[in-house]
Amino acid sequence: MIEIRKTHPAAFLVSLAVCLSLLAPSILEAEGKAKTGFFLCALGVQAGLGGDMDGKAFLFDGRETILVPKINRAAGYGLSFGRRVDAFSQEIAYYQIEHDLIWEKLAAKATSHWLEYVPKFYLTTRSILQPFASLAVSYMWLTAEDCSSQAGKTGSATFYGLGLNLSGGLSLYLHPQIALQGSGGYRILMVGRVKGASGKAQTIEETIWTNGPSFSGGLSLTF
């Protein structure tokens, strides 16, 4: 067990669907319906990690020191695969983001990886423009350069977290099988394990809580 010692994010909006709907108001009355079945979606995402990851804390277990850096908001990319049935869909998404990190005078890079289960509940199925709400479960691992040191050896630190992402968005069906999607939400994440230069993952005694807005957009194809 290691304890935390504290020395105590230009949002990216994917709005193409909304813009297209403004250019074509009649879209709301359209009789088109989305095709149900399996789909693949290419994603663009933006997220950061706020809360306790503020660049003012570190972890120490008596031998190894791990810095808890500030992780700046950045954009990334990924894929999702899922299935839609009428007004409900569920998908598994993976994406990664390259961030800048800061801890006092240290400036380096970090990479976050996200694996999410995303259920979506659609408010309508008869329009080309279909709003939805979602409560996703997120698993994240983030590798931060130069944030771990032990016996004079410096290396990367990897943080592991689990959380929820509450969001809402729109799907614009250009064709029953092709849709543009955009969403925005708020994520809460608890980081409970970390691995440093020693290569051994350890439980964090005092959970690191992070939070902040998240945005995504994509193009999906239903088979």
Q: What is the CATH number of the domain that holds 104?
A: 2.40.160.20
150's tokens: 């032990």
pTM to 2 decimal places? 0.82
Q: How many domains does the chain have?
A: 1
Q: In whole angstroms, what is the distance from residue 222 CA to residue 81 CA?
A: 10
- The residues, ordered by sequence, that sit 6+ positions from 93 with a Cβ below 8 Å of its Cβ are 41, 43, 78, 79, 80, 114, 115, 116, 118, 136
Would you say residue 182 lies in a domain?
yes
Is the four-CA dihedral 139, 109, 9, 106 of positive or negative sign?
A: positive
Would you say residue 197 lies in a domain?
yes
Would you say residue 186 lies in a domain?
yes
State the pLDDT at residue 110: 97
Would you say residue 184 lies in a domain?
yes
Per-residue pLDDT of the chain (223 residues; tens, 9 = 90+): 454 444 443 333 334 344 434 434 444 433 447 899 999 999 999 998 999 999 999 999 888 999 999 999 999 999 999 999 999 999 999 999 999 999 988 999 999 999 999 999 999 998 999 999 999 999 999 999 999 998 888 899 999 999 999 999 999 999 999 999 999 999 999 999 999 988 889 999 899 999 999 999 999 999 9
Would you say residue 52 lies in a domain?
yes
Would you say residue 204 lies in a domain?
yes
Q: In whole angstroms, what is the distance from residue 182 CA to residue 85 CA?
A: 20
State the pLDDT at residue 16: 39
Q: What b/e string do you get for 146-162 counting C-beta neighbours within 10 Å, with b at 16 or more?
A: bbbbbeeeebbbbbbbe
State the pLDDT at residue 46: 96
Is the four-CA dihedral 59, 65, 70, 76 of positive or negative sign?
A: negative
Question: DSSP character for 223?
Answer: -
Paired with 95 in beta bridges are 78, 114
State the pLDDT at residue 2: 52
Would you say residue 77 lies in a domain?
yes
Q: What b/e string do you get for 36-54 counting C-beta neighbours within 10 Å, with b at 16 or more?
A: beebebebbbbbbbbebbb
Q: In whole angstroms, what is the distance from residue 140 CA to residue 42 CA?
A: 19
135's tokens: 């409560």
State the pLDDT at residue 152: 80
How many residues in total does the chain contain? 223
Its domain, for residue 159, covers 3-25+36-222
Would you say residue 194 lies in a domain?
yes
